[in-house]
Amino acid sequence: AQSVTQLDSHVSVSEGTPVLLRCNYSSSYSPSLFWYVQHPNKGLQLLLKYTSAATLVKGINGFEAEFKKSETSFHLTKPSAHMSDAAEYFCVVSERRAGTALIFGKGTTLSVSS
């Protein structure tokens, strides 16, 4: 069975400092992995996705994530936080077989202070 664990429920950083949001996954098959961002009372927007091509994935707004199979991790990073990055972030796993919906982590709230 597939599952995803976001290791921090809340991360606080200062503007201009690096961001690290941690995600571990469990999957019996070759997974696809995604990061989504949600601003308050809005839908979710795709930041980036991994689907078995390059293990380092670049996304929108300067975010990137590295797929590490040996560590079953897919951590999200950004070199320099911006105030507009304050939002909730979800790590998501999907297995490549029929009849599978996306499985979401519980989310990490990112706060950015000036």
Partner 1 sequence: DGGITQSPKYLFRKEGQNVTLSCEQNLNHDAMYWYRQDPGQGLRLIYYSQIVNDFQKGDIAEGYSVSREKKESFPLTVTSAQKNPTAFYLCASSIDRGNAEAFFGQGTRLTVV
User: Which member of 51, 62, 72, 86 binds partner 1 (CB under 8 A)?
Assistant: 51
Question: Is residue 107 close enough to count as binding partner 1 by CB under 8 A?
Answer: yes
Q: Which residues pair with 113 in a beta bridge?
A: 14
Residue 69 binds partner 1 (CB under 8 A) = no
Assess contact for 21 and 11: CB atoms under 8 A.
yes
Q: Min. distance of Cβ 111 from partner 1 in angstroms?
A: 15
Is residue 95 a contact residue for partner 1 (CB under 8 A)?
Answer: yes
- Which residue's CB is nearer to partner 1, number 15 or number 104? 104
- Taking alpha carbons only, the member of 22, 37, 6 closest to residue 106 is 6
CB 4 within 8 A of CB 27: no
Mapped onto helix, strand or coil, the DSSP state of residue 85 is: helix
Q: By the criterion CB under 8 A, which residues form the site for partner 1?
A: 9, 31-32, 34, 36, 41-46, 49, 51, 90, 94-107
